[in-house]
């Protein structure tokens, strides 16, 4: 039934939200939505999803051949999807609207070192643009020599009752080998469809194709399908790993559902398995955080949302927005611009252009954000 999951008092507000979505393209994050669908978490926290199985990230460095490492990258990547795209449903009952980060907002955290993964794995996130929203991130396990640098933005539209999200941005994973050489992997991102809006209980399904292109030539092509395709199950995928040139190695084919398990088609061996618990990032307490750090910055708003005190949430949000507006006015009056702290804008990411050519990436070029190497916990 329509609006089934919507609290009675918010039904008309949900309906008008849905109406305003029709024919809408652009920046969904700025749109006002009814309180029941608001999440107390900022989008700057989302890059942590890339590393909630830190041992899989570290294990990339242990692959003895180019092929073994390409498979390890694919396995790590597939294993992040459950967290990236279903964890709000698990923790809050449905997909929700995250807090829209302010320019300069930061999120820092780490996964501690242990025997299974070697070194400490650290995350640095910075909101590098507010309009449109762009989030840049860097994850590194320096002891293992594995890093991930990327940025994330979204273009949204509405079609057939669903929100369609095209992810703009990409990630580059690098592995430094004991030989002194290093490999790069260009990672593109799938398209999202947000279904279940009519009932007021949105959830994500992935669609179309994403790629992982290695500088060694190995290419993973990952196709996503929902209910009624491949296996008939939602969250299905099929990944094919092929060498670059016409080497006569049969490709690896992997099929399964990304939120549970998958198998290698030839051997039937389990490829990925995310049925065990993941490991959340460790973050400093709010008292220890600086004023630009996400949880400190949004504390009042998040508390209001969690406790159902939406008036207080709105007051705190208004304060943050006014302060931001004032800052932008001061900057234009003083002829200055906001300076990024951990990243530098790159007009045409050279790695994207070089590796993107190998699989005819669309678009052929993308901007990037280079990491400045000045995260807060660079010491391990
Ligand atoms: C951000 C980058 C992450 C993966 C990811 C997961 C969920 C996406 C999010 C990204 C971007 C913002 C997003 C969200 C789901 C819902 C939310 C598209 C791509 C939009 C802005 C809010 C929709 C509002 C409805 C829930 C009503 O690696």
Predicted ipTM of the assembly: 0.99
Ligand 1 centre distance from Cα of residue 88 (Å): 10
Instruction: Tell me, using a 6 A CB cutoff, whether residue 33 lines ligand 1.
Output: yes
Q: What local confidence, expressed as pLDDT, does residue 255 receive?
A: 97
pTM more than 0.80: yes
Ligand 1 atom closest to the Cα of residue 46 is: 3
Cβ–ligand 1 distance for 167 under 6 Å, the answer yes
Atom of ligand 1 nearest to the CA of 43: 1
Does 152 contact ligand 1 (Cβ within 6 A)? yes
Determine whether the shortest distance from the Cβ of 274 to ligand 1 is under 6 A: no
pLDDT of residue 26: 75
CA distances from 327 to 134, 237, 296, 299 (A): 19, 45, 19, 20
**Whose Cα sits closest to atom 4 in ligand 1?**
84
Q: Is 208 left (phi over 0), alpha (psi -120 to 50) or beta?
A: left
CB of 215 closer than 6 angstroms to any ligand 1 atom = no
Write down the pLDDT at residue 127: 98
Q: Which of 155, 197, 154, 193 is nearest to 18 (CA)?
A: 197
Of 87-91, 184-188, 229-233, which range is least confident?
229-233
Whose Cα sits closest to atom 11 in ligand 1? 154
> What local confidence, expressed as pLDDT, does residue 380 receive?
44
Q: Which of 5, 82, 84, 150 best tests ligand 1's pocket when mutated (most atoms within 8 Å of CB)?
A: 84
What Å distances lie between residue 271 and 74, 186, 262, 267, 363, CA to CA?
10, 21, 5, 10, 30
The residue whose CA has the least distance to atom 20 of ligand 1 is 97
pLDDT of 378 over the 80 cut: no
d(CA 174, CA 256): 27
Return the beta strands (E) in 83-132 as ranges: 97-99, 106-111, 121-130
Distance 205 CA to ligand 1 centre (A): 11
| Distance (Å, whole) CA 111 – CA 329 | 39
Q: Which residues contact 342 (CB under 8 A, 6 or more apart)?
A: 106, 124, 126, 136, 138, 371, 372, 374, 375
Ligand 1 neighbourhood includes 361 CB (under 6 angstroms): no
Residue 331 CA to ligand 1 center (angstroms) comes to 30
Amino acid 249: pLDDT: 77
| Ligand 1 contact, 202 CB (< 6 A) | yes
| Per-residue confidence (pLDDT) for residue 28, from 0 to 100 | 84
Q: Tens digits of per-residue pLDDT, 239-270?
A: 999 997 666 678 899 999 999 999 999 999 99
Residue 7: predicted pLDDT: 96
Q: How far, in Å, CA of 261 to CA of 16, rounded?
A: 39
What Rg, from alpha-carbon coordinates, does the chain have? 21
What is the predicted pLDDT for the residue at 29? 83
Does residue 211 contact residue 222 with C-beta atoms inside 8 Å? Answer: yes
Residue 217 C-alpha to ligand 1 middle, in angstroms? Answer: 31
In 3D, which of 209, 220, 154 has the Cα closest to residue 185? Answer: 220
pLDDT band at 23 (very low <50, low <70, confident <90, very high): confident
Q: Distance from the CA of 68 to the center of ligand 1, in angstroms?
A: 32
Is pLDDT at 228 greater than 90 in this prediction? Answer: no
Taking CA atoms only, the protein residue closest to ligand 1 atom 21 is: 29
pLDDT exceeds cutoff 90 at 287:
yes
d(CA 119, CA 210): 29
Protein residue closest via CA to atom 18 of ligand 1: 165
Check if 165 has its Cβ closer than 6 Å to any atom of ligand 1.
yes
């Amino acid at each position: 039934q329509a609006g089934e999951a919507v609290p009675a008092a918010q039904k008309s507000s949900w309906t008008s939200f849905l109406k305003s979505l029709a024919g809408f393209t652009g920046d969904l994050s700025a749109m006002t939505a009814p309180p029941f669908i608001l999440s107390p978490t900022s989008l700057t926290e989302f890059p942590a999803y890339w590393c909630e199985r830190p041992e899989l990230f570290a294990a990339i460095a242990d692959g003895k051949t180019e092929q073994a490492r390409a498979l390890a990258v694919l396995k790590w990547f597939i294993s992040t999807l459950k967290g990236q795209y279903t964890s709000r449903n698990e923790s809050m009952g449905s997909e929700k609207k995250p807090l829209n980060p302010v320019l300069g907002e930061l999120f820092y955290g780490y996964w501690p070192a242990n025997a299974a993964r070697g070194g400490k794995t650290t995350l640095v996130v910075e909101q590098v643009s507010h309009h449109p929203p762009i989030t840049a991130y860097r994850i590194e396990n320096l002891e293992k020599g594995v890093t991930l640098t990327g940025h994330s933005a979204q273009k949204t539209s509405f079609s057939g009752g669903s929100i369609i999200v095209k992810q703009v941005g990409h990630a580059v994973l690098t592995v430094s080998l004991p030989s002194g050489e290093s490999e790069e992997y260009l990672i593109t991102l799938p398209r999202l469809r947000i279904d279940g809006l009519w009932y007021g209980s949105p959830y994500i399904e992935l669609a179309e194709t994403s790629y992982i292109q290695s500088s060694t030539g190995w290419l993973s092509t990952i196709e996503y399908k929902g209910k009624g395709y491949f296996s008939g199950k939602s969250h299905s995928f099929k990944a094919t790993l092929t060498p670059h040139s016409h080497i006569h190695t049969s490709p690896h084919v992997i099929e399964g559902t990304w939120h549970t398990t998958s198998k290698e088609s030839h051997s039937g061996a389990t490829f990925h398995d995310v049925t065990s618990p993941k490991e959340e990032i460790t973050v400093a307490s709010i008292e220890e955080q600086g004023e630009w750090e996400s949880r400190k910055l949004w504390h009042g708003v998040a508390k209001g949302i969690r406790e159902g005190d939406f008036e207080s949430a709105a007051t705190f949000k208004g304060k943050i927005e006014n302060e931001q507006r004032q800052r932008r006015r001061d900057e234009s009056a003083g002829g200055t611009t906001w300076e990024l702290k951990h990243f530098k804008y790159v007009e045409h990411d050279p790695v994207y252009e070089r590796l993107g050519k190998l699989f005819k990436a669309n678009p052929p070029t993308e901007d990037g954000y280079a990491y400045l190497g000045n995260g807060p916990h660079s010491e391990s």
